[in-house]
C-alpha cells in the first residue's frame, strides 16, 4: 500500500466530512468511490475513529495553518496582513461553503462531547491558529504598528472565535451575504481596536470597500464585551475613540 493511497483516503474523507459531517460519514461509500478494497482501507484505518483522528491531524491541521500562513513569522505589516487574511475568507466564500459551515466548528459541536481524544485534537487545531495570530500581534506591537495595551492572546482567541461565529450565523441563515457583511464589520473593528493612529494605509481601503459592498446589517455590533479581557483596552482607548465595538456608549 502506498502513502499516496493513504493520503487520498484522508483527503476524500475530509471532503465528505466538510460536506455532511463526521457522524454521517459512511466509510463503505468512500471505499466504493475510491475504488479500493476494504482490506486496503482497513490496512490504514482499523475503525472510523482512527480515520477521524488522522483526518484532524494530517488534513485539518495544515488546512487551518494555511489559513493564516501570511501571518507566520511576520515582523511588519501585521495589520494589513490580518485584514487581508480575513478578506480572503470573504473572497473564497460561496453559497455552498457557507451552507456547509466551518468544518472545525462543525466537528467541535459533533464530537467534543462524546470523544475526549477527538476534543483534544480539535483543540490543537484551534490553538495552532491562535498561536500564529498571537505571535503576529506581538510582532506588530514591537514594530510600533499595533497598540501596546492589546492583550495578544486574548485578541487572537477573539479573532478565531469571531470568524467561527461568522460562519455559524451565516450557516443558519444560509447566506453568503451575511458572512461577507459580518467579516467586513470584524475587519473594521480590528482596525479601530488594534492599529496605532497613523497615516492611512491600504488597510483602510480594504475595510472601506468591504463596508461599501455590504448591505446586510450586523447584529454583532450590539454585543457587549463587559467582564472580559478587552475591558482593559476599552478603559485605555475610550478617550481616543468615540464609538466602535468596545465603546461604553454602545
Domain spans of the chain, in order of start: 1-46, 55-237
Res 249 pLDDT > 90? no
Assign 224 a pLDDT band (cuts: 50, 70, 90): very low
| Cell reading at 127 | 490553538
Fold of 55-237: Tetracycline Repressor; domain 2 (1.10.357)
Q: Do domains 1-46 and 55-237 have the same CATH topology?
A: no
DSSP string for residues in 160-216? HHHHHHHHHHHHHHT-HHHHHHHHHHHHHHHHHHHBPS-S--HHHHHHHHHHHT--S
pLDDT per position as a tens digit, 92-132: 999 999 999 999 999 999 999 999 999 999 999 999 999 99
Assign 228 a pLDDT band (cuts: 50, 70, 90): very low
Q: What residues does 146 pair with on adjacent strands?
A: 195
Q: What are phi and psi of 195, to 5 degrees?
A: -80, 130
Q: Do the Cβ atoms of 82 and 190 come closer than 8 Å?
A: yes
Q: Do the Cβ atoms of 128 and 64 come closer than 8 Å?
A: yes
- Mean pLDDT over 146-165 rounds to 95
1-46: which CATH architecture? Orthogonal Bundle (1.10)
The pLDDT value given to residue 243: 43
Amino acid at each position: 500500500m502506498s502513502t499516496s493511497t493513504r493520503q487520498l483516503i484522508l483527503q476524500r474523507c475530509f471532503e465528505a466530512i466538510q460536506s455532511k459531517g463526521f457522524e454521517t460519514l459512511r466509510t463503505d461509500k468512500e471505499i466504493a468511490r475510491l475504488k479500493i478494497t476494504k482490506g486496503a482501507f482497513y490496512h490504514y484505518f482499523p475503525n472510523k475513529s482512527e480515520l477521524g483522528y488522522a483526518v484532524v491531524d494530517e488534513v485539518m491541521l495544515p488546512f487551518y495553518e494555511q489559513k493564516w500562513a501570511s501571518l507566520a513569522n511576520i515582523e511588519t505589516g501585521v495589520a494589513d496582513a490580518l485584514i487581508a487574511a480575513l478578506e480572503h475568507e470573504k473572497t473564497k466564500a460561496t453559497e455552498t461553503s457557507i451552507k456547509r459551515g466551518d468544518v472545525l466548528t462543525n466537528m467541535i459541536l459533533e464530537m467534543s462531547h462524546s470523544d475526549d481524544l477527538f476534543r483534544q485534537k480539535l483543540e490543537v487545531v484551534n490553538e495552532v491558529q491562535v498561536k500564529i495570530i498571537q505571535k503576529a500581534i506581538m510582532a506588530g506591537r514591537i514594530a510600533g504598528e499595533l497598540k501596546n495595551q492589546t492583550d495578544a492572546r486574548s485578541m487572537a482567541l477573539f479573532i478565531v472565535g469571531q470568524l467561527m461565529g461568522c460562519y455559524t450565523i451565516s450557516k443558519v441563515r444560509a447566506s453568503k451575504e451575511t458572512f461577507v457583511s459580518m467579516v467586513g464589520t470584524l475587519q473594521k473593528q480590528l482596525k479601530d481596536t488594534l492599529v496605532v493612529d497613523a497615516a492611512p494605509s491600504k488597510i483602510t481601503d480594504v475595510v472601506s470597500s468591504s463596508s461599501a459592498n455590504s448591505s446586510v446589517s450586523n447584529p454583532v455590533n450590539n454585543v457587549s464585551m463587559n467582564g472580559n479581557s478587552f475591558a482593559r483596552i476599552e478603559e485605555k482607548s475610550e478617550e481616543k475613540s468615540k464609538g466602535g465595538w468596545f465603546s461604553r456608549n454602545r
